Structure 1
Amino acid sequence: MGNYRRRVVDGELDELLPELSALAIEGAKGVGKTETALRRSEVVYALDDGVQRDLLAADPGRISRATGTVLIDEWQRHPAVWDEVRRSVDRDPRPGRFILTGSATPTEAPMHSGAGRIVQVRMRPMSLAERGLGATTVSLQALLSGRRDPIEGESAVDLPGYVDEIVGSGFPGIRPLSGRARRAQLDGYIARIVERDFPELGHRIRRPATLRAWLAAYAAATGTTTAYNAILDATTAGEVDKPAKSTTITYRDVLAQLWLLDPVPGWLPVDNSFARLARAPSHHLADPALAARLLNLTAETLLAGSGASKRTPFGANTLGQLFESLVALSMRVYAQSAEAGVNHLRTRNGDHEVDFIVTGPGGRIVAFETKLASTVDEQDVVHLRWLRNAVGDLLADAAVITTGRNAYRRPDGIAVIPAALLGP
């Protein structure tokens, strides 16, 4: 634990644990939940170990008798422990008693949701601010305040650097690797999903190649609102014996249980004044490195554009989509820290789109566009200006996230922020 890199969610845990009895840290395998929880625990039950699982099954009350904060790692392997924690908290609500970590929502659901007793905290792969790329100079929380502070700072990260971050992964155990070793680990991660995680949740996959093709089609739809039917069609193009729609819905649902899908919901303002807004989510995997690997894209092919778009089912600007997904991952980490939500905006006829709408605790919003370029022109801010005119004072701030070097505020008040300079 000596090499532990502090995560944004650590700040949230520092605030919650001294006042709450039980926290559940949830997220995809490999995001760092266990390492983060271990730093706050005196007693550990690792339930991916059959012996420790049997101990708790035989004597559930042992967690209540422990002294200090108890970590129950991979609690979904023995779902009954959730209700045991809930009952223990009912009997003794002292703060800081339990931390649970989970990499899947169990099929065998707990008897009780735990609402009011167990507070759930999402943990995602590492954001750009957590990857050691340099100091961040623009705070999302400050943007939400509406103060319109000066925007400044210079980033050393250029377009090739962002491409390296896309393929380099935000999983702490994969990031240090390079080249073939990293690709092998990502392949292994995907294989585990298909071969082990699905069966562990009670779903035997008769055609693993079809599930992997569905994942690749979903990866190709990154950053879009492509309908699930279209994803299915892209998966099975040219096939006569296509899987049933119910089968692919199962794929989607199980991948959501595993926290592998991280779609950004469509935005609906509280006053519902935008009757023409579409509600479809924009698609994102938990880590854009998984999407790049599923599409067999390397940093070199992404930068060269060597026919990459032709190899994907939707023929889209793949690098731009993956950059947007990298920003989406980071934005959601920062927004959670600020108790804010992240959505996207798209009108039903597609005449207006805004990549991200971040809604703060007071209801005011910050709107973001992403651009895979170092410069911003008038065309890049059209939708942000439209939104500003439409919502007035509801808009706390607006910005374009770029791959450029310098952060600044344009004469029209819209901020220009290199992705690596934005932080919580």
Structure 2
Amino acid sequence: MGQQYERRIVDDTLDQLIAGLPAIAIEGAKAVGKTATASRRAQSTLSLDDPHTYDAISAHPSAVAELTPPVFLDEWQLVPELWNSVRRIVDEDPMARGRFLLAGSAGLQPSVRIHSGAGRIVRLVMRPLSLAERGLVTPTVSLDALFRGSQQIEGETHCALGDYVDEILRSGFPGIRGLDDQVRNRALDSYLERVVDGDLEQMGIRVRRPGALMAWLRAYAAATSGTADYAKILNAATPGEGDKPAKLTADSYREHLTRVFLLDPLPAWQPSFAPLKRLTHSPKHHLVDPALAARLVGVARGGLLVGEGDRVATDTGSWVGALFESLATQSLRVYAEAHGSQTGHLRTSGGDREIDLIVEDDQRRVVGIEVKLADTVHEGDVGHLHWLKAQLGDRMADMVVVNTGRFAYRRPDGVAVVPLALLGP
């Protein structure tokens, strides 16, 4: 008997899209749950990683038009012509609804040309389980309600630092997080090895020095939640070596690992209105799941709790703090995308102003969020939020500090203090 499907936040979005659009492409890393989510809606399923299916559809990609809809094309990128076939089929009957679901865990090689699909195929990103989806507690504070100004800031949680560390290490991959500790660690290690040794090769990418790529990936993981430049990451990957990989090679690592969704950098926020001056364009570094970063750096639970773990940039706080911010970022991106909002971070070019997360909705309203690995909030934790409110005025929908505390409440200065476990979509 298969494992019972637990409904995801993305399910509501997917149901809306299927009811109104002919084709939806679900994108994301392997093991985030794309197949389970899409297949339960499909009448016809083609798994392109099956050799027999691959051979048949490679020869006749247009045959998908004859299948009973909704048609689910899993790992469609293995047969890139499928995208163009779906686009042509949709063009022939643009009023059809819910005809195709496509899922992919890798982007196409730059040399492979396909039509953008704009107006025909809508893309939907799926990430590992957010904290709200893991069933620890029921969230009491909604990101959507923060934008609408209708949110009472209240609630209590039993979750403390140790619980958040446990969730970081357990991961948000549905099929991995329930395993025993030792088995789960092996599964996470295997996941990383499979990306380096298998998935990239499947995309036609030859990795000449797998060890060098893995060393670079470890250094990137050690830069989690920071904006260290890529030269610093490369130096950290090859300390003391005279034959460092060329910058072009390191850039290709980053490009390939992003295309298989292993890297999930958080872009710098660029406001769509009256842009603020002197904002940096550097992304914050994140893997798709902080559990992978924890495995790559190699600090276990006990070490995390006492502050062990080297960083690429030593001025960016503790390693457990970086992982906690990564967990918060992963979860907030899931919540934001459920409402069509964009997520980024803010940092001025001189580094004098930084805000960990900026969520902007389609009305150009902003919720600013600081992430603090602490159970209390001090004046110094909210200064940059008040600065941003002074810049944006009424466009600032709310100011939030996410922390590891017990209670959610509103400070007298208007800042909402919300334990991460109590924040939801």
TM-score of the pair, normalised by structure 2: 0.97
Cα distance in structure 2, aligned partners of 1:81 and 1:274? 43
Instruction: Give the drift of 1:144.
Output: 1.3
Query: CA–CA distance in 2 between the matches of 1:273 and 1:125?
Result: 32
Q: How does 1:375-386 map to 2 (within 5 A)?
A: 375-386=376-387
Residue 124 (structure 2) pairs with residue 125 (structure 1): no
- Amino acid across the alignment from 1:169: S
User: Between Structure 1 and Structure 2, how many residues are aligned?
Assistant: 420
Show the 5 A alignment for 1:78-93. Answer: 78-93=79-94
Shift of 1:313: 3.7
Amino acid at match of 1:49: D
Could you tell me which residue of structure 2 aligns to residue 349 of structure 1?
350
Distance in structure 2 (CA, Å) of the matches to 1:59 and 1:325: 43
8 Å contact kept, 2:29–2:105: yes
Q: Spell out, residue by residue over 1:245-290, the C-alpha distance to the aligned partner (whole angstroms, 9 max, x if none).
A: 0000000000111011111111122234421111111111100000
* 2:32 is the alignment partner of 1:31: yes
Distance 1:134 1:308 in 2: 29
Distance (whole Å) between structure 1 residues aligned to residue 375 and residue 213 of structure 2: 37
- The alpha-carbon deviation at position 109 of structure 1 amounts to 2.9
- Counterpart of 2:272 in structure 1 is 270
| Native 8 Å contact 1:83 1:110 kept in 2 | no
Q: Which residue of 2 aligns with 1:185?
A: 187
Tell me which residue corresponds to 2:248.
Answer: 246
Contact 1:166–1:326 (Cα < 8 Å) also in 2: yes
Identity %: 52
Q: 1:177-220: per-residue Cα shift (whole Å, max 9, x none)?
A: 12110110000001011111121222222221111111111111
CA root-mean-square deviation: 1.2
Report deviation, 1:2.
5.3
Aligned AA for 1:338? Answer: H
The 5 Å alignment of 1:18-417 reads: 18-93=19-94, 94-107=96-109, 109-147=112-150, 149-305=151-307, 307-309=308-310, 312-315=311-314, 316-417=317-418
Alpha carbons 2:141, 2:152 under 8 Å: kept:
no
Question: Is the Cα contact below 8 Å between 2:263 and 2:288 reproduced in 1?
Answer: yes
Q: 2 CA distance for matches of 1:193 and 1:32?
A: 17
2 CA distance for matches of 1:45 and 1:222?
36
Flag structure 2 segments of 5+ consecutive residues without an equivalent: none
1:347 shift after superposition:
0.9
More divergent stretch after superposition (325-334 vs 82-91):
82-91
Report if the CA contact (8 A) 2:232-2:312 is conserved: no
In 1, distance between residues paired with 2:39 and 2:48? 14
SS at match of 2:25: strand
Instruction: Quote how far apart the aligned CAs of 1:308 are.
Output: 2.2
Three-state SS of the structure 2 residue aligned to 1:383 is helix
Partners of 2:228 and 2:313 within 8 A in 1: no
Separation (CA, whole Å) in 1 of partners of 2:59 and 2:347: 53
Structure 1 stretch 70-79 or stretch 272-281: which is displaced more?
A: 272-281
Deviation for aligned residue 1:106 = 1.6
Cα distance in 2 for partners of 1:328, 1:275 equals: 24
Shift of 1:338: 1.1
Query: How far apart in 2 are the matches of 1:341 and 1:109?
Result: 28
Give the Å deviation of 1:110.
Answer: 4.3
Tell me if the contact between 1:80 and 1:110 (Cα under 8 Å) persists in the aligned partners: no
CA contact (8 A) 1:27 1:124 kept: yes
**Equivalent residue of 2:144, what SS?**
helix
Moved more, 383-392 or 5-14: 383-392
Q: Deviations over 1:308-357 (max 9, x none)?
A: 23xx4434511111100000000000000011000101111111100011
What is the TM-score with the length of structure 1 in the denominator? 0.97
* Higher mean C-alpha deviation, range 58-67 or range 327-336: 58-67
Cα separation, 1, equivalents of 2:50 and 2:198? 16
SS of equivalent residue, structure 2 residue 19: coil
Which stretches of structure 1, 4 residues or more, deviate above 6 A after TM superposition? none
> Residues 169 and 252 from structure 1, CA distance in 2 versus in 1: closer, same or farther, beyond 3 angstroms?
same
SS of the residue aligned with 1:23?
Answer: strand
| Unaligned segments of structure 1, at least 5 residues | none
Q: Do the aligned partners of 2:228 and 2:312 also contact (CA within 8 Å) in 1?
A: no
SS in 2 for 1:18: helix
